[in-house]
């Protein structure tokens, strides 16, 4: 077959008369052009999206595992939340409302007297508002024996309402009730305790 065919002699309107080799080459070129166009305008974009999704796969897998763990622990979280709400409610019930503060102050003073202490100062101070509660500081000065102070603090801890003690300062009493700077060595020696008690009141929402 003569391959030296003048392309100008080929009639595009009568390609059926073209030599078989030329028709094969033309068909191959058309197929290659269609394949290239299909790849460039369709398949290439899909491959790029596939590669992007493959790169995101570890991140999506980690997110799925995290959500799966949360879903598996949901019942435990709900139970823990219920326990926290119950505990918080129990703590709130230990905070007196405004009408119970006076009775609580009486309980504190009676606790000290029952422990054998003598009150020289019992001075409630101004309330200090916090987030959802108010602190009521009480400055006290009591005298008694060392073990009396222990019974007093134990009695405060046993009260149905929350009372905390701060800024404790214990000094031995000198003659005439004046403080000495030396430490107390005799368990039977009378001491003076200066401290600030704090009780708490729940601040109800609304006016």
3-class SS of residue 64:
helix
Q: Does 141 lie in the same domain as 54?
A: no
Rounded Cα distance between 36 and 76, Å, is: 57
Note whether 66 and 109 are same-domain residues.
no
Same domain? For 68 and 105 the reply is: no
Instruction: Report how far residue 137's alpha carbon sits from residue 27's, in angstroms, rounded to the nearest whole number.
Output: 99
36 and 114 within one domain: no
Q: Which of 29, 55, 72 lies at the terminal end of a domain, its last residue? A: 72
Residues 115, 171, single domain; the answer is: yes
- Average pLDDT on 153-181 reads 77
Tens-digit pLDDT profile for residues 124-139:
888 888 777 788 898 9
- Domains held by the chain: number: 2
Quickly count: other Cβ atoms within 10 Å of residue 150's Cβ: 11
Bridge partners of 201, per DSSP, are 134
Same domain, 105 and 196: yes
Domain that holds residue 55: 18-72
**One domain for residues 185 and 130:** yes
- Tell me the pLDDT tens digit for each residue of 60-96: 788 888 887 777 777 777 788 777 766 666 666 666 6
User: What's 127's domain CATH number?
Assistant: 3.30.70.60
Domain contains 9: no
Examine residue 147 and state whether it is found in any structural domain, yes or no: yes
Residues 68 and 106 in one domain: no
Q: Is the pLDDT of residue 148 over 50?
A: yes
Closest CA to 199 of 161, 166, 173, 172: 161
Please tell me the chain's helix, strand, coil percentages from 3-state DSSP, rounded to the nearest 5: 55, 20, 25
Residue 135 lies in a domain: yes
The answer to whether residue 93 is domain-embedded is: no
Supply the pTM of this predicted model.
0.49
């Amino acid at each position: 077959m003569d391959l030296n065919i003048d392309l100008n002699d080929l009639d595009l309107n009568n390609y059926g008369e073209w030599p078989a080799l030329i028709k094969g080459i033309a068909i191959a070129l058309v197929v290659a052009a269609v394949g290239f166009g299909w790849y460039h305008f369709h398949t290439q974009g899909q491959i790029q999206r596939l590669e992007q999704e493959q790169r995101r796969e570890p991140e999506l897998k980690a997110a799925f595992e995290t959500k799966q763990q949360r879903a598996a622990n949901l019942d435990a979280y709900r139970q823990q939340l219920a326990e926290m709400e119950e505990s918080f409610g129990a703590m709130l019930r230990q905070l007196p409302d405004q009408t119970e503060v006076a009775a609580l102050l009486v309980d504190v003073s009676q606790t000290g007297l029952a422990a054998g202490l003598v009150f020289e100062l019992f001075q409630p101070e101004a309330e200090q508002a916090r987030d959802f509660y108010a602190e009521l500081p009480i400055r006290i000065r009591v005298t008694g024996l060392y073990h009396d102070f222990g019974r007093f603090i134990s009695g405060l801890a046993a009260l149905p309402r929350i009372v905390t003690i701060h800024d404790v300062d214990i000094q031995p009493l000198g003659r005439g009730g004046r403080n000495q700077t030396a430490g107390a060595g005799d368990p039977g020696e009378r001491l003076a305790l200066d401290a600030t008690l704090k009780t708490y009141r729940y601040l109800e929402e609304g006016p």
